[in-house]
Homo-oligomer: A and B are copies of this chain.
Amino acid sequence: MAGDGAERTGATRRRGAALEQAILRAAADELLESGYTGLTMDRVARRAGTNKNTIYRRWPNRAALGVAAYRQLAVADLKPPDTGELRGDALELLRRANCHWTSPLGEVLRGLLSAVGEEPELLAQLQEQAGAAGTAGWLAVLDRAVARGQAPPEARHPRVATVALALLRNEIITRGVSSAPDDVLVEIVDEVYLPLLRGHAHTETA
């Protein structure tokens, strides 16, 4: 990491893409350290070894910078799990999501989501990243379950497929900041997700 904490001492003056990257890295680091609340333009400027002026030439306001910086962090490595059983796969996906939302990154995302409420454009950008990543994994897992005969084909409806994820999100938002305990995840899978799929299979897999 170049110029991590201290102000940059290099003699040359960066421009264009290089500078932009430096700003984004600085902003992303601030996000991880202090969350969106702690992301201030002055601090990002100092950390990146530049000044607010330069930042405002690229992003119109703090929220936009926050979203852009988050993008850097959110390149999630999502290989859907394959335990050979639907229940195991679902639990694993839920545990990963739980981890994600609980991590500093999740906190950042929550902060951003609430801060961006007024600007729909930024909101759309966030959803594109946060939302899409989620559903893909669930559909993949369900595809395999359908192939195995553990779930009916109708289960591949996106809303049905991601029910467990939605419940987890709801749990975290409703219950507060800390992560959901594992037995809640198990409950979601056993009491809701699997019965739901069973309910879709009208009279089969009994």
Contacts and interface: CB of A to CB of B under 8 A. Distances in A.
A175 interface: yes
Contacts of A167: 159, 163, 166-167, 170
Interface string A195-206: 111111011001
Contacts of A170: 166-167, 169-170
Judged by DSSP, the binding face of A is: helix
Interface residues of A, number: 40
B206 A176 contact: no
Interface string A166-193: 1101110111110000000001100110
B199 A160 contact: no
Q: How many copies are assembled? A: 2
A127 interface: yes
Interface stretch (A2-10, A14-22, A113-121): A113-121
A196 B195 CA distance: 6
Interface string A107-147: 00011011101001001100100110000000000000000
Contacts of A198: 199
Given A114-B111, A177-B120, A199 B203 contact: no
A173 B113 CA distance: 8
A159 B187 CA distance: 8
A145 to B, nearest CB: 15
Given A110-B114, A170-B170, 7 more contacts: A111-B117, A113-B114, A123-B176, A127-B174, A169-B170, A198-B199, A199-B200
Q: Which 3 A-B pairs have the closest CB atoms?
A: A199-B199, A114-B114, A195-B199
23 contacts: A110-B114, A111-B114, A113-B173, A117-B176, A117-B177, A120-B177, A123-B177, A124-B176, A127-B176, A131-B174, A159-B187, A160-B191, A163-B192, A166-B166, A166-B167, A166-B174, A167-B167, A169-B173, A170-B170, A194-B199, A196-B196, A199-B199, A199-B200
